[in-house]
Structure 1
Amino acid sequence: MEYQKLGASDVTVSRITFGSWAAGGWMWGGTEQNDAVGAIRASYELGVTSIDTAPIYGQGLSEQIVGEAIKTLPRDKVQVLTKFGMRWDDTKGDFGFKSKNNDGQDIDVYKYAGRDSIMRECEDSLRRLGTDYIDLYQQHWPDVTTGIDETMEAVQRLIEQGKVRAAGVSNYSVPQMAEAEKTIHLASNQVPFSMVKRGIEQDVVPFAQQQGLGILVYSPLQLGLLTGKIKPGQHFGDGDLRNGNPLFTADNVQKVNAFLNKLRPMAESKSATLAQLVIRWTLAQPGITVALVGARNPEQAVQNAKAIDVQLAAEEVDYISKQLAGVQVA
C-alpha cells in the first residue's frame, strides 16, 4: 500500500481508502452488516488503514458498522474519516433533498453546520464509532445558512479538545476553501472525480496543489459504471441511486464499455481487472491524494485494495488518457 500525509496535518492515510457509503445501505438498496464489517477488516489486512464514513450513510448505520469493524483493530493504526453537516433528524439550515431511510420511510435531509449542531454531531459520531477521537472531520456539504467562519471555529474547538485530529471539507468550491482557510488549516477537500467526471481539474485541484491540501476523490468508479460490469439497459431497483441516473442510459453505458474494452488487453497483461486499472489511473492524476472506493463484501474489498499493486508507466497513463479523450457521455 502507499500512504500520504493530508496537507500540513499529522494524519497519514492509505491512498486507497475504504468508502463506507454503500456499506450503510442507504441509496444502495440495503446492506448486510456482517459482509460490510468483513470487507473493512479484509481491506485492513491489505494495508487499507483509512475508512471514510458519514452519519447520513444509513442514518448512523455506516458509522456503527465502522465502529464494529475497528473494534478488534489497533486504533492508532486506523484512520477514521467521518463527516458532519447533513441532518435528517432536524430541520435547521439549508434544505437538501427528500430521501428514504433503509426502512423505506421518507426523510428530509438538511445541510446544517451551526456550532451547537456540530458539537452534538461529533459526540454522536464518537459514540457510534466507539472511539474517543476522529482522525479527519469533514463538513459534508456547504451550508449557505451558516457562516464558514462559525463552522470552522467549531471544528477548531474540537481539535483543541482532542476529539478531532484534522479538519477537512467535502464538496467545497475554491472560494469556499479560501474562506475556510482564514479560520482553520484545512487538511483536505473530498470531491467527486472519475474518468467521466473531471470538473475539479479546472480549479479545485490547482488550488489544493497551491495550498498544499489533500484531495480525496469519491466515486472514482462512477457508481460501478467504470468497472465494465454494467450492461446497456441494466435495471436498478427502487432505492438504488443509479436508477434514473442519466449516466446510466443505454447509450452512455455502451460508450463507456467500448472505451473500457480498449483497455482490456492492458489490464489482462497486468493480471488486473478493469476496475483496478481505473483506480490506478485515478491515483496517477496530478493532485489526487486518495481514491475512496466502496465495497459491500470482503471479495470486493480485496480486489479494490490490490489495485495499488498495478504498476502503470507514464506512457500507459497517457495511452489511457488519450483513449478517454474520445469518450463523450451526456
Structure 2
Amino acid sequence: MRRLGKNGPTTFDLGLGCMGMSQFYGPGDDTESLRTINRALDLGVNLLDTADMYGPYTNEELIGRVLRTRREEVLVATKFGNVKDDTGRVVRVDGTPEYVRRACEGSLRRLGVDVIDIYCQHRVDRNTPIEETWGALAELVAEGKVRYLAISEAAEDTVRRAHAVHPVAAVQTEFSLFSRDPQRGLLRALDDLGIGFIAYAPLGRGLLSGRYDADARFPDDDFRSGLPRFTGENLRRNAATVRGIRELADRRGLTVAQLALAWVLAQGPDIVPIPGTKTVGRLEENIAAADVRLTDEELALLDGIAPVGAAAGDRYPDMSGVDI
C-alpha cells in the first residue's frame, strides 16, 4: 500500500487506468471490462481512474455499474476540463468556476455516487487563472462533493499556485521508462511539497508491454496510429530500446511490462502507476509487478538502456496543451 503524499489517500501499489475500456485503443467490450475491474478489486486494487471525456461519458457510466455494489472498496478518480464537441473532438480546455461545478455534477450523476474521492483537473486552462479554478474546487471539497484534489500535466509553478489555494493530493502525468520528464524537477518539487504522483501510461501506451515491434501497425480507431512514437523511424528506435529492456526482463524471469512497472514503483514510495488494460490476463500480469524488487545494479542498467530523453518522438502530435 502507498499513500499519495502527506495529505492524500492510501492506495494499492498500482491503480487501474480505465480509459481504454471505452475509447482510444480500438473497440471496447463492456462485459470483459467489468470482469477486469471486478478482478482488480478482488486482488486489492482500489484506485480506478477515469475522466468525463472518455467515451465521452461512457467510461464513468461503466465504472458506475461497479460502484453500485462495491463502492466501499473503491477510490474513484475522475477528471474534468477537456471539452468535446458532438463529433468527439476536444475543442477547448475549460477551467472556469462555472464549468468546474457543472462538470462535477455530471460526473457524480454518471458514477452514481455522492462524493468523488479524487477530482482531477485534466488539463490547465491557460485562459483562466489557476487560482479561480482551484477556488471552485475548494468549494466542492467544503460541500462534501469531493474528497481530494489533483491536477494533470501541470508545471511545477502551476502546481505551487494551486497548492496555495487548496492542498494538492496528487499530480498526474505520463511517466515511464519512455517518458521520464517528471524526473527533471517535478518529482523533486512534489516531494518537497508532500504531494503524491499518479503515473499514467506507465507502459508507454503499450511500447513497454512487449507486444509491439518495429513493424507494428495500428488501425485508425487506435489513437496510437497518430502518435509520433509509434510511426516510422521513431517506432524502430523505440522498439530497439525495448529489446534491451527485454534482455533484463528475461534474466529476471519477468515480462517487459512487469519490469517496466517495477521501475516506476522504485522511483518513490508515493508514486502510483495506473496501467490500463481491458483484459483480466493483462491485469494479473501487471499486478504481479507489485512483488518485484529491483536491485541498484538493475536500476542503473535500466538508466543506461532508457535514460531521460531516450524516447524517439513526442508524446503527442501537438504538445501545446501540456503545461510542462
TM score, norm. by length of structure 1: 0.88
Question: What's the CA shift for 1:286?
Answer: 4.0
Structural mapping, 1:164-179, within 5 Å = 164-179=146-161
Secondary structure, aligned partner of 1:307: helix
Instruction: Mark the CA change 1:32 to 1:232 in structure 2 (over 3 Å): closer, same or farther.
Output: same
Note if 1:71 corresponds to 2:68.
Answer: yes
Q: Distance in 2 between matches of 1:209 and 1:194?
A: 18
Q: For residues 209-232 of structure 1, what are the alpha-carbon distances to aligned partners after superposition, in whole Å with 9 as ceiling and x for unaligned?
A: 111111111111111011221122
Amino acid at match of 2:25: W
- Whether contact under 8 Å (2:203, 2:209) holds in the other structure is yes
Q: Distance in 2 between matches of 1:208 and 1:287?
A: 12
Structural mapping, 1:9-158, within 5 Å = 9-25=7-23, 27-73=24-70, 75-88=71-84, 105=87, 107-158=89-140
Amino acid at match of 1:4: R
Instruction: Mark the CA change 1:34 to 1:264 in structure 2 (over 3 Å): closer, same or farther.
Output: same
Question: What's the CA shift for 1:53?
Answer: 0.5
Question: What's the CA shift for 1:113?
Answer: 1.4
**Aligned residues with identical type, % of pairs:** 31
Question: What's the CA shift for 1:152?
Answer: 0.8
Q: Distance in 2 between matches of 1:106 and 1:10?
A: 33
TM score, norm. by length of structure 2: 0.90
Partner of 2:300: 318
Instruction: Mark the CA change 1:265 to 1:214 in structure 2 (over 3 Å): closer, same or farther.
Output: same
Q: For residues 74-122 of structure 1, what are the alpha-carbon distances to aligned partners after superposition, in whole Å with 9 as ceiling and x for unaligned?
A: x233100111111225xxxxxxxxxxx7xxx353432101112111111
Q: For residues 252-296 of structure 1, what are the alpha-carbon distances to aligned partners after superposition, in whole Å with 9 as ceiling and x for unaligned?
A: 333333333334354234432111110111111247611110011
Q: Distance in 2 between matches of 1:171 and 1:204?
A: 10
Q: For residues 23-55 of structure 1, what are the alpha-carbon distances to aligned partners after superposition, in whole Å with 9 as ceiling and x for unaligned?
A: 122x22221111111111111111111011000
Instruction: Mark the CA change 1:108 to 1:197 in structure 2 (over 3 Å): closer, same or farther.
Output: closer
Note if 1:210 corresponds to 2:192.
Answer: yes
- Whether contact under 8 Å (1:38, 1:69) holds in the other structure is no
**How many equivalent pairs are there?**
312
Higher helix share: 2
Q: Distance in 2 between matches of 1:222 and 1:149?
A: 32
Structural mapping, 1:293-308, within 5 Å = 293-308=275-290
Secondary structure, aligned partner of 1:305: helix
Higher strand share: 1
- Whether contact under 8 Å (2:77, 2:117) holds in the other structure is yes
- Whether contact under 8 Å (2:229, 2:238) holds in the other structure is no
Q: Distance in 1 between matches of 2:162 and 2:193?
A: 12
Q: Distance in 2 between matches of 1:118 and 1:176?
A: 17
Amino acid at match of 1:129: L
Q: Distance in 1 between matches of 2:252 and 2:179?
A: 26
Amino acid at match of 1:118: V
- Whether contact under 8 Å (1:226, 1:256) holds in the other structure is no
Partner of 2:320: none
Amino acid at match of 1:301: L
Q: Distance in 2 between matches of 1:217 and 1:195?
A: 11
Q: Which runs of 4+ in 1 moved over 4 A?
A: none
Amino acid at match of 1:329: A
Unaligned runs of 5+ in 2: 314-324
Unaligned runs of 5+ in 1: 90-100
Partner of 1:6: 4
Amino acid at match of 1:130: G
